[in-house]
């Protein structure tokens, strides 16, 4: 029941910015967009999340369109260690009547950073 659409794969040159798109056209007004990544043989790692405004941290920037139907994760200076599967996720309620939340992962985008 993933609510996002991402490209299957993309390549990026080392040292250049990597722009990862994500479509979430059915997102509701109070649902957050989360990005995680999973390096080979490791558990997923949190990158960033946002609701309406653009966000930036030490790892990446998140640009959310004004209508919130899509977003872009930006890795400003990609390195070989950024090679991973990147997941764009809409956080949803765990059950219809709960105040608990869960992440529903899709297949993600496999990003390969090349030297």
Partner 1 sequence: EAGVAQSPRYKIIEKRQSVAFWCNPISGHATLYWYQQILGQGPKLLIQFQNNGVVDDSQLPKDRFSAERLKGVDSTLKIQPAKLEDSAVYLCASSSRPRGAETQYFGPGTRLLVL
CB of 115 to partner 1, least distance (A): 26
Q: Is 97 in the site for partner 1 (CB under 8 A)?
A: no
39-78 residues near partner 1, rule: CB under 8 A: 41-46, 49
> Which tokens in the block code for residue 69?
């139907």
Q: Is 29 in the site for partner 1 (CB under 8 A)?
A: no
Cβ contacts of residue 33 below 8 Å, gap of 6+?
22, 24, 27, 49, 50, 51, 62, 64, 68, 71, 88, 89, 90, 91
Q: Is 107 in the site for partner 1 (CB under 8 A)?
A: yes
Q: Which residues bind partner 1 (CB under 8 A)?
A: 2, 41-46, 49, 85, 87, 94-95, 98-108
């Amino acid at each position: 029941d993933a609510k996002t659409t991402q490209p299957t794969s993309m390549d990026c040159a080392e040292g250049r910015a990597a722009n990862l798109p994500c479509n979430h056209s059915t997102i509701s007004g109070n649902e957050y967009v989360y990005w995680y990544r999973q390096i080979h043989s490791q558990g997923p790692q949190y990158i960033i999340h946002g609701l309406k405004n653009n966000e930036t941290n030490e790892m990446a920037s998140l640009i959310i369109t004004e209508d919130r139907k899509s977003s872009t994760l930006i890795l400003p200076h990609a390195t070989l260690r950024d090679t991973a599967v990147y997941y764009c996720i809409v956080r949803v309620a765990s059950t219809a009547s709960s105040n608990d939340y869960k992440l529903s992962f899709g297949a993600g985008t496999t990003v390969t950073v090349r030297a």
